[in-house]
Amino acid sequence: MTEGFLDELVAICGPDAVLREPVQLLTYECDALPHLRETPAAVVLPTSATAVQGVVRACARARVPFVARGHGTGLSGGALPVPGGVVISLARMNRVLHVDLPNRQVTVEPGVTNLEITRQVAPHGYYYAPDPSSQQVCSIGGNVAENSGGAHCLKYGFTVHHVLEVEAVLPNGDLVRIGSPCADAPGPDLLALIVGSEGTMAVVTKVVVRILRKPEAVQTLLAAYDSLSEAGTAVSEIIGAGIVPAAVEMMDALALRAAEAAVHPNFPPADTVLIVELDGPRAEVEELFATVQEICRRTGATVVEVAATDEHRMRIWRGRKAAFAAMGRISPNYYVQDGVVPRTKLPEVLGRIRALAERTGLGIGNVFHAGDGNLHPLICYDESVPGQAQLAEEVAGEILTYCVEAGGSITGEHGVGADKRDYMPRMFSDTDLAAMQLLRDAVDPHRLCNPGKVLPTPRLCGEVPGPYRRHPVEHAGLGERF
C-alpha cells in the first residue's frame, strides 16, 4: 500500500478515522474467532455512506482488497482482514435514522446494535425479531452479512425475512439501494443474495428492517430429563401436535454444569434440559402451553418448571444464552462448532457425538436449537496438553461430517467465513461452488471484496488449526464472550 493511497484514505475519512499504527491495528486482527488473525495495512472508520463509497472506489482503483467489519462478534472469521488490505469498520455509523411505527419499519446505519432496534421501539410495543445470542453487541450490518438467526428463528425466520431494503456500496464503488420498503419490487431478489453473502458482495451503509408487534402472551418452561432421547421425543411430539414454538432449546449435562458455574440459573439436576417458549395471542398460548406441559410429563420429564414471572423467564434464558461463555469456567479452552441436522436426526447425530467424546477423551457440551436441528457442540480441551488443540479441531471437523451425512449443513448461523470455506466441498459439488463463484465474480470481478471467505481455496501447508483462543479484549478483561 502506497503513501499516496493512505493519504487518499485520510482525505476521504479524515485524519482521526484512518488507523495504521500496529498497536491500533491489533483490535482489528480478528473477529470473535481469534485463532484466525491477519494484520491489515489500514483500518478506516468512515461516518457516512459517501466516505464508504470513496474508500471502496479508491480500493477498486488501486486494486486493494477490503473487508467490512461491524462489531467483530462473528464466529467464522468473516471479518478477518486481508494482509495488505483495508478494514472498513462501520462502528461509527451507528445512528438510528428513522422509526416508522405505522409501517412497522426502522431505518438504521449498519453499526447500530441488534438490541438497540428493539430498545427504540419496545416502549411502543414492538420488537425486532432476529435475536442472536450476541444481540447486545452485534451490529445490524454484521447480521445482514451473516443472515443471523437466533433462538426464535424457528417461528420468526432469519435476518433475510426481516430486512426490506439496504443501501450498499458495490465492489465497483456504486452506491445503490437494493430492495424496497414497499412490497413486490419486480424481478429476482438481489437483496436476498446480499443478505448472507458474508460481506463478499457489498458494504452495507443503511438498513431498513421490519419490526413486529409484541405478542400478547409469552410462556416459557424448562423440562428436565434423564436422557437426551426422551427430550428428543418430546420435541418430536410437540412439532407433531402442530405446534410451532417460538423457541425450543436443549442443553446437555456438561453445558448445564458450565451454565450453573457461570450465571447460576438454578436449573434442576438433569442429563438434558429442554426449554420451550410459546408466544402469540393469549388464548392460543394458554391452550397450546398446556399441551406442551402434558407432552413433557408424558415423555418422562422429571421436573417441569414453568416461568411464572418475566424475571424467571429471563433467568432461564440467561442460563441458555450464557452457555458458550460459561464453558470457559469448566475448561481451559473450548471450540464452538455450528452445524445443522434434520430435526428428526438429532438423536442419531447426538449419539455419534457422545461416542466421539468417549473415543477421544475430550468433553463435548451440547447446546442447541432443537426445533430447527441447529447444533452447537462445545469441544473442551487444554491447549497446554500437546496435541489437544489439534485433536479438538479434528473432532469439530468430524462433527460437521456427521451433520452432512445426516442431510444437514456445515453452518446454521455462524457462517462459512474463513473458518469453514474448506468444508464447503463436503456439502456442495465443484459445479455448485463454481456457480456461486460465478455470481460473486459478476458483482466483484477483481475479487477485492472480502476475499478468502465463503468459497474454498486450496488449504495451505502448515496452516494453523483452529482452537478457541482468547481475544485480546478478553485477555485485557474488557469484554466477555457471548
- CB 454 to another protein: min, Å: 7
- CB 356 to another protein: min, Å: 21
Q: Which is nearer to another protein, 40 or 373 (CB)?
A: 373
The three cell numbers locating residue 187: 424481478
- CB 248 to another protein: min, Å: 12
238/71 Cα distance (integer angstroms): 37
Q: Which is nearer to another protein, 100 or 480 (CB)?
A: 100
Q: Which is nearer to another protein, 230 or 305 (CB)?
A: 230
- CB 372 to another protein: min, Å: 4
Q: Which is nearer to another protein, 270 or 349 (CB)?
A: 349
Q: Which is nearer to another protein, 7 or 216 (CB)?
A: 216
- CB 234 to another protein: min, Å: 13
Q: Which is nearer to another protein, 15 or 242 (CB)?
A: 242
- CB 411 to another protein: min, Å: 5
Q: Which is nearer to another protein, 17 or 367 (CB)?
A: 367
Q: Which is nearer to another protein, 220 or 331 (CB)?
A: 220
- CB 52 to another protein: min, Å: 17
- CB 137 to another protein: min, Å: 20
- CB 37 to another protein: min, Å: 23
Q: Which is nearer to another protein, 8 or 146 (CB)?
A: 146
Contact yes or no for 65/451 (Cβ under 8 A)? yes
The three cell numbers locating residue 351: 449419539
Q: Which of 335, 398, 402, 395 has the alpha carbon at shortest distance from 373?
A: 402
